[in-house]
Structure 1
Amino acid sequence: MAWIKTIKPENAEGDLLELIGKVRETYPKEYGTVHPQTIQFDESIIESHTLIPDALYHSFMLLSTLLKDDLPLERRQQEMIATVVSDTNDCFY
């Protein structure tokens, strides 16, 4: 349960719906799934930004830029760094 008010992506409208779509387009190919209709993604990180759509858009565009395939670190190295930082910060994401 969220501690703050959020808007579920399926309830988004207008500009927020458009921005969520743009953010999803930047997801790495590893986030794809063969059977998307059978898997529910936990989008609470996205939901936490829904009350400030500009923050949602810009923070996730920054993240997608930092995780581009043409950067010197491989995706698995990026994920390892993120995992270690999250663990160090006691972050469950």
Structure 2
Amino acid sequence: MTWIKTVSPGQATGRLRTEYQKAIRRAGKVYAIVSSMSLNPPVLESAMRLYRDVMHRESPLTRVQRELLATSVSVFNECHY
């Protein structure tokens, strides 16, 4: 649960609603890491674009290697994402 003010999926409109809908299609729900950027939809859009580019675009690393690296960093940072 975030401790900052956020916009819930039920209250989201416009660009934020679009990003929330993408999050729900991708992960089944809107995780706190996504809603933490809800007050600034352009930042959320940029963060999601960066994630997609890093994880899904052509790379010398395989998708499995990228997921393993992301998981290792999350474990090191004690982050459950």
TM-score, reference length from structure 2: 0.77
Aligned equivalent of 2:17? 17
2:29 is aligned, of 36, 41, 59, to 41
Offset of 1:24 from its aligned partner? Answer: 2.0
Say what the alpha-carbon RMSD is for the aligned residues: 2.5
Specify every segment of 5 or more residues in structure 2 that has no aligned partner in the other structure, as ranges. Answer: none
Matches within 5 A, 1:1-93: 1-18=1-18, 20=19, 24=22, 31=26, 40-93=28-81
CA displacement 1:40-86 (0-9 Å, x = unmatched): 43521111110111110111101101112532222211111011111
Which residue identity lines up with residue 49 of structure 1 in the other structure?
M
Q: Which range moved further: 61-70 or 47-56? A: 61-70
**The residue matched to 1:67 in structure 2 has which SS?**
helix
Aligned equivalents of 2:49 and 2:33: distance in 1? 14
Specify every segment of 5 or more residues in structure 1 that has no aligned partner in the other structure, as ranges. Answer: 33-39
